[in-house]
Each structure stands twice: as structure tokens, then as C-alpha cells.
Structure 1
Amino acid sequence: MPNKMSQEKEALLRALGAEVVRTPDDEPWDSARSHIGVAKRLRQEIRYGVILDQYGNVNNPLAHECTTGPEIIAAVVSTPSTPTKPSSLKVDVFVAGAGTGGTVTGVSRALKKEHNPECIVVGVDPIGSILALPERLNDESPKPYVVEGIGYDFVPQVLSRDPADIDHWVKTDDGDAFQAVQRLMKTEGLLVGGSSGSALSGALAWLKTERGQKVAQTEGLNVVILLADGIRNYMSKEWFLDFALGPGPPRIPQTTSDKGN
């Protein structure tokens, strides 16, 4: 795993009996010393070694198309429309961060194929990553950011950047992401991590666009934001300890030399 990964993730793997190999964060994805390169080497060295390959395994998006998507649809459809809380009984907008891209791709297909072909899917990508389209949204080269779990310096095979699957992209920064995390914790009681903050801040940014404002002003439309992580994996991180235990206003974490994963 990259050095940026939290201690909690490593501790959990070791508790399950895994041997953990840390790899440099500043290695490009196709380097032999990156987490992908080291995994490929270990697969050759370890008898019966297997890489599940979340970046290229078609079962990644398929799992979300067959499970996560239908679960979201069932929850929205089964929530009745009332005079005080009207509902279209459909998922009208879906917002999710893109890491491997399997989640946003698979859920999009589940929503658009039979449930609501007009559903708007918004992908969220941290500034410094190269996943978002069009290309002008991205910087000229990958840059470091603090948020874990979303964004890459290459485009995974399982991520569909076809406009038929992802209608819009939004870029987010660390400051907005962690402010959104604090907001979710304090106002909603949801103990989420940085990628969930990115999803919320990305959704709020998109709702300020021309098309997003039309959605926000239309009564009964349902905007679903996927909060894909929890705080369990980040409780030793400085940004969380400063927020939870600090005597004054929480500081927004500053980007380090680490790359996203």
C-alpha cells in the first residue's frame, strides 16, 4: 500500500494476518516501485498469487450495477411522496467521487438503464487528479492532495468517462472537502472521511451551475450523494484529531508531497 494510507488500514490488514508492504507515494502508477508495480512483482513471486485488480476487473462496476444501484433505487422508490416532502420517486441526480471509477460507473448504469434514463450523474474528482472530463478541468500534470480514496494519475479501465454514463464532472479541493466532512459530522452525525466530504462539496458546487440550479429549484427532485467512506480508517490522521480534539477552530489540512490513491 502507498505510504499515504492511514495506520488504521494497515492495522486492520495486519490483524487479519496480512503482510503489508509500503510503497513510495511519489512513484508514478506504472513504475515498478509503485503499489501496482510491487503487486505485480509479488504475484509472480508468490505461489498461487492473485491480484483482484480493482482497476481493470469488470466485476468492480458490475457489482455496483447489480447491488449498490438497486439498493439506492429501492430506498428512493419506497420513500413516499408527501405534501410536505414531495418526491419524484426517482433518482434524479446521482453524485459520487471517482477512485477506480467502479462505483460511479456501475451505479450510473443501474440508474439509467431501466430506472430513470434522464438521471444526471455527476463525477467528483480532486484537484490534482486526472480523471475528470473535459481535459480542461484538469491541471497540466498530477499534483498532490490530502483526500484519500479518490483520484489517480492514470485512468482506470473500469472507469467509464463516456458522457452516456457520467454527465458532468466537478473538481474539488482539500479545503472544501474537509469542511464538508466537519459539516456532516456536526449537523448530521455522520462519521465520514475525506472522500465523502469531496462528494458533498462537489454536489453543492454542481448545484450552483446552470443545470444544477434548475434541479435545486424544482420541487420533488431527488439528489443522491454517495458517502463512500467512514472515519474508522482516518482517526489517527492529523486533520481529524485537530478537528475533534483541538481547542480552537479546526484547521484545514494542507496538501503534502503525497499523491492521491
Structure 2
Amino acid sequence: MTTVETLRIVTLAERPDLETAMLEMEATWPEFIRPDPLVIAWALRRHAAHQLVVLAGAEVVARAATVPFCWDGDPASLPDTGWDEALRLSMLDTHDGRTPNTLCALEVAVVPGQRSRHLSGRTLAAVADNARRHGFRDVVVPVRPSGKHLEPHVPMTEYAARTRDDGLPSDPWLRVHVREGGQILGVCPVSMTIAGSLAQWRGWTGLPFDTSGPVTVPGALNPVEASVADDRAVYVEPNVWVRHRLVP
């Protein structure tokens, strides 16, 4: 357990009773991003020591979901399919009994009303501390840049390369990572793929989805590709691989 001012950071291994509160915590993920709940439940329970919950009193104010996997340390070998593949690799490595050396942060989220407390950086630092205690050499993150949804037609490579006059990334969430010692390695262009019927997309977004072609959806980092003929729409989200090296 770590104490930061009036906050407490615990793992689900220490407080399994917090699983429901962690999952139901208010966050800013768009409605259409729906990871498989069975897979998420597996990750939380199988790797409870790597799931962090930040408490202010009895209230959950931030969370970090992470999974271990094996990585050779070569940035070029990090998968283009980012988020989805990291979770799959964790499941495979766990099932096959391989000893993981890397922790992948699938999510670091803060309750919207708590952002003035700089919890994102604190929670990210806690992820690194927890990984270091368990002997991992790296934390890697398929980062979802917080401002990219405002420019869905801009290529992620161009967006992620933008910097301010001080050299830090223009994007706020990428900037937090760099300030915490993270190194931007490159884009994972197919980090998360979400497909659904047009009716499902209408329910998730409130948009008509009545024509074929790209659809700009609030909260999406790229346009969603819709096909009326196939009654299908597919969203492919790019993320940015960031590495936090824990050992020299």
C-alpha cells in the first residue's frame, strides 16, 4: 500500500472487494469501446496484483489495469495491434507458464471530477512502482492520446509527433507520460478494433448510420467505416506505444 497525501493506492490482490467499484468507476471511455467483459474479468482476477485502485477515503477516484507479458525489448517487435494483442499475449504467456518481464498498462483512468488533483501522473507513477516491485524491466502503454478525438482526420503519426516550444508533446496525456520518464516509440495503428451492426452503432452513438463510408463519431480517434449493404460498421483505433524503462 502506498500513501500519497490523502490518497491510498492498493491492488486488487490486497482489496479484492474493490473489483466492482473499480469496474464501475466513472471514466471517459466512449460508449462504443467495449472490451470483452469475460476477458477483462480474467485479467483482473488472474493478475490482481497488477490492478491498482486509488482511493480518497472510501471513494475510488482512479484505476490502472495492467497485464504482464513477455517482450524482447525491441521496440520494433511491439505489435501494431497494440491493446488487443497485448491482452492476447498476456493470456498466452500466462497459459503457457512463461515468466513475463514486461507490464502493459491497458488503462490508466481518473474520475473526471478528480483531474485537478493530478491523479493521472500519480497513478502512472504508481504503476511503475508496482511493476518495479514485481521485478519487471519495462512498462509499455498503448496510449490513447486525450486530444486526438478532436482531430479524427489527422494521421496519428502526425498528431503524436507534435511538440510544444518546450519540446514536450502537444497532447496532454502523452505529455504526462513523457514527464514521468516515458519514451514515445511509435504508433500502433490497429490497437483496438470494434465492429458492430448499424443498429448497435446507432445505440452507442445516437448517430443515424444510414449511409456507407466514413462516419465522424464523437470520442473516436479515427472515422468509423460504415457499410449499409453489409449492415456493419468497423472502428479501428490507433494508439501510441510508450515505454517506461524500469532498469538501466
TM-score, scaled to structure 1: 0.28
Q: Which has more helix, going by share of residues?
A: 1
Q: Which has the larger radius of gyration?
A: 1
Structure with higher RCO (Cα < 8 A, 6+ apart): 1
Give the structure with the higher percent strand. 2
